[in-house]
Structure 1
Amino acid sequence: MRAVIVEEPGGPERLAIGDVPAPEAGPGEVVVQVAAAGVNRADLLQRQGHYPPPPGTTDVIGLECSGVVAEVGEGVTGVSVGDEVCALLSGGGYAERVVVPAGQVVPVPAGIDLIAAGAVPETYATVWSNVFMLAGLQPGETLLVHGGASGIGTTAIQLAKAFGATVITTVGSAEKAEVVRELGADVVVNYREDDFVQACEQAGGADVVLDIIGGRYLAQNVASLARGGRIVVIGMQGGLKGELNLGALLGKQGTISATSLRFRPPEEKAEIMARLVEHVWPLIEAGTVGPIVHRTVPFEQVADAHRVLEESSHVGKVVLEMGA
């Protein structure tokens, strides 16, 4: 079957279309004929050689997909050949077919098409598992989300507002600021010009901080917290290391967590996907929230898709479409 292969670590030009063995469904697994695959920052890191897949996982890039069930393994119930689904993956989405533990495969929400569904699993699972399951964001609390125009950011803004929270977010341009306000952000900070710590202090502090930046923002994130605030670090775009003033954290009675969705065991991923179907799919089907797709790129132009993310000019998600 066709799949994107990385000839050697490096830039987008290292991505190529090659032939790899087609997967088969083992016990408890499902094979999905891929229609579309979301493109994520983690994909860029893997291409560069900085983010190898978990042991036993295919080297093919891709953490989410949508498509049609092509095969079900022994013991699989609740999903049948021909079903339209989307799936959370540990890898393999940039291919014609991918094998997935059955618990990570869920129906496409009504109201969105099969291609847009390829932009849902990774970002929605990341936001739900971190903002709601781990940090426990409650109605009436305040969420600070960095990178509000990203796939994670646009998802977090919509979900937080849908569940009754106030949202403060950072963006890098006036154009992006306008978009995130339309999505419901209450306070928008252009990080190139203004101080998000001050914005949080004026709002009484952030109860939850969803941070894709990492080291560079560590001290500022702590300063932004309300009493009892929770910081969840899910990315390191701003570096691996930062200086932590434990006195400041103690003063806020705050906590810091760091998580990676990709390396969680299948049982945990299955639980996250089940929670999404229960709590979030009705919101998507009602049109309250939904994937923001910046651009759909043909599978053969995967290098262009990676370049869009590297330029950070996009709003929402970039999606690879497999085509015929």
Structure 2
Amino acid sequence: MNSVEPHQLMGAYRFSVAPMLDCTDRHFRVLMRQISQRALLYSEMVVAQALHHSDRKQRLLDFDPIEHPIALQIGGDDPALLAEAARLATDWGYDEINLNIGCPSQKVQAGNFGACLMAEPDLVARCVEAMCAATDRPVTVKHRIGIDDLDSDALLTAFVDRVASAGASRFAIHARKAWLEGLDPKQNRTIPPLQHERVTALKERRPHLLIELNGGLESPEDCLKALQHCDGAMVGRAAYAHPLRWQCIDANVFDDLPKTVKASDVVQGLLPHAEAHLKRGGRLWDLCRHLVQLVEGVPGARHWRREIGLNAQRRDAGIGVLESAGQQLRDAGL
């Protein structure tokens, strides 16, 4: 379990890295923490029912204290199970609990949670109310601007109003609707058109609510533009695919002193985490798989990525592989 400093969450939502399945595990979060000390980081979605039945709660919930401020994203539609999950998240030391009302996958729909719950604002409100009663941490919601034919500004506003009245403290809104039939999750991230203006209009209609803009933010400049209208900017795939692109965020968004973060600094910062993971019986590739996105657009980048990929995937790969990869970067001035 990890202790929490409540002040750590203050304003962190101004820039956050979105929850992404198979991406935002604890290893990637530690990597991102080398780049930004201030960003709010999210876990991958954890299903409340799985937490209730699993004897692997530590594997599902554990994180490194360096990851603060950190939010646990939960999926589910059962208020009692979600309340239990919120209590567990609180005990584990998470700074925030986020309810997933945005995932459009068929598997998630089959469990009656994710984006399909936008059609049931009263149920979402009951879930949020139960979670708020179970924790002293902020309970937030991530959702779409609409689903299928339920896609009007009136319905979006009514959804947010109902869930806010139940205690949700912030809304992270992916500025695309979701087609629950006919499009897979990847297509739902790209085919429905971005409609940032609908999120900013919602903020204008409800200025007292905390609204984060998510979807299509590809650069720090995009985020600064979003912050002119909304309370937060949430970045997803662009953070995973281009981690070093975001090294200026602490200075630009949080007014910290500017700093330069090199790829070699990130690798060096990961060494203690990697050693601890190996001692627990983990594999080096568990975290090195995220590093292949770290070096790009410079001579030798492809060779470095190929080499660390080959070496780190060996079952007996030890910390020396990561140390050598870091030294190569330093020798190249990266």
Quick check: TM above 0.5?
no
Higher strand share: 1
Tell me the TM-score normalized by structure 2. 0.29
Tell me the TM-score normalized by structure 1. 0.29
Higher helix share: 2
